Amino acid sequence: MELRRLKDRLKTATRGHKLLKDKSDEMIRRFMLYIRENLRLREEVEGELQASLNSFMLARAVSSDAAIEEAVSMPGTRLKLSASSQNIMSVDVPVFEITKEEGGELYPYSFATVTAELDGAIASLAELMPKLLKLAEVEKTCNMLADEIEKNRRRVNALEYVMIPQLEETIKYITMKLDENERGATTRLMKVKSMLEQQNGVQ
């Protein structure tokens, strides 16, 4: 009974190992796709952010700090952020969605008080906001997938190098013991048979 139970456990562990290995391979494939997307977004966002900062520096060079501070102190547009999640290989990763509320203006100031460089900087930052959120979403997804891949790898290794070898060793030991007992029983039966034949021969 113990041998049958151990064989069932070994079969289950082997099947579980294969499923976890397949899951790990698929997770790594998706992780690599997200890593490439993260790299592309990061380069794009950093380039656009640098251009926006350059425009701000040009605006500060030709306008006073007080004028710029007054121009950008009151936001003219309100954005609404909604967060949800999606399941990727049993990992709930975040999904961000940004919507612009009705009304409001992109430039909440008089064009006569500031330079065109500030207009360009504000416009580029407004366009950059959705990309920044997407970058945050992708980076968080990469981190969560990396953690899950590491956990999954530990489970696979525990099955492959600890549990399955131990079960195989125990099954082998019990099988050897049963075979040994069977040989001993066969030997005893043969000996009893030989003794009975000798007794019958003497009679």
* Model pLDDT for residues 21-60, shown as the tens digit of each residue: 999 999 999 999 999 999 999 999 999 888 888 887 887 7
At residue 65, the 3 state secondary structure works out as helix
Instruction: Locate 60 and state its tokens.
Output: 């500060």
Find out if CATH 1.10.287.3240 is the number for domain 22-148.
yes
Cα-Cα-Cα-Cα torsion 131, 136, 137, 142, nearest 10 degrees, comes to 120
Cβ 74 vs Cβ 122: under 8 Å: no
What residues does each domain of the chain span? 22-148
* Model pLDDT for residues 65-124, shown as the tens digit of each residue: 776 776 666 666 777 888 898 998 888 999 988 887 666 566 665 555 666 777 777 777
In whole angstroms, give the CA distance from residue 130 to residue 36. 18
Hey, what amino acid is at 22? D
Spatial CB neighbours of 16, under 8 Å, sequence gap ≥ 6? 159
In whole angstroms, give the CA distance from residue 33 to residue 73. 40
Q: State phi, psi for 107 to the nearest 5 degrees.
A: -110, 95
